[in-house]
Amino acid sequence: MRGHAQHALLQREAGGVLLGRHLLDSNNLVVDEVTVPQKGDRRSRFGFFRSKKHNALAQAKWAASQGTTAYLGLWHTHPESDPTPSYVDRDDWSKAVAMDSFYGEELFFPIVGTERIRVWTKSRCGPIQELAELRSGA
């Protein structure tokens, strides 16, 4: 994800889907893979819209893993050092939790800035909450 951070002035937002595993007998999960920008994504300096190709990739990974690879959330970049979710981001996250099929009670939403990655989560019944902030190199 860091490889897509918007360091250059004309670099467009990037994003994808988080794929991984829920660890048995714990509340922990592991992100094993992320999808990267795909042909058909709509990308601009201040916007990103995922194409259906991301869903197809996630479903293929799930099938190939015999159902052990899970959809864990969505990531994207912002052209700022300390990323903050926009109204569009928050609305997208709420729709994902309400409409997408996923295992567990919550999805995760990292935003990759130029210096920090911040992560939010939204449960099926709760508000959007910031989970963590990662500084460059962490």
Cα separation, 119 vs 24, whole angstroms: 23
pLDDT tens-place values along the chain, 138 residues long: 999 999 999 999 999 999 999 998 888 899 999 999 999 999 999 999 999 999 999 999 999 999 889 999 999 999 999 999 999 999 999 999 999 989 888 999 999 999 999 999 999 999 999 986 555 554
pLDDT of residue 28: 87
77 phi and psi angles, rounded to 5 deg: -105, 160
Q: Residue 12: what pLDDT?
A: 96
Secondary structure (DSSP) of 53-114: HHHHHHHHHHHHTTT-SEEEEEEEE-SSSS----HHHHHHHHHHHHHS--SSSEEEEEEE-S
* Domain of 71, in residue numbers: 2-135
What integer pLDDT is reported at residue 135 of this predicted model?
Answer: 57
Task: Give catalytic status of residue 33 as yes or no.
Answer: no
φ, ψ at 25 (rounded to 5°): 60, 30
Global pTM? 0.91
Number of domains in the chain: 1
| pLDDT the model gives residue 5 | 96
Q: Which of 13, 106, 115, 130 is catalytic?
A: 13
Q: What is the CATH number of the domain that holds 99?
A: 3.40.140.10
Q: How far apart are CA 13 and CA 85, in angstroms?
A: 13
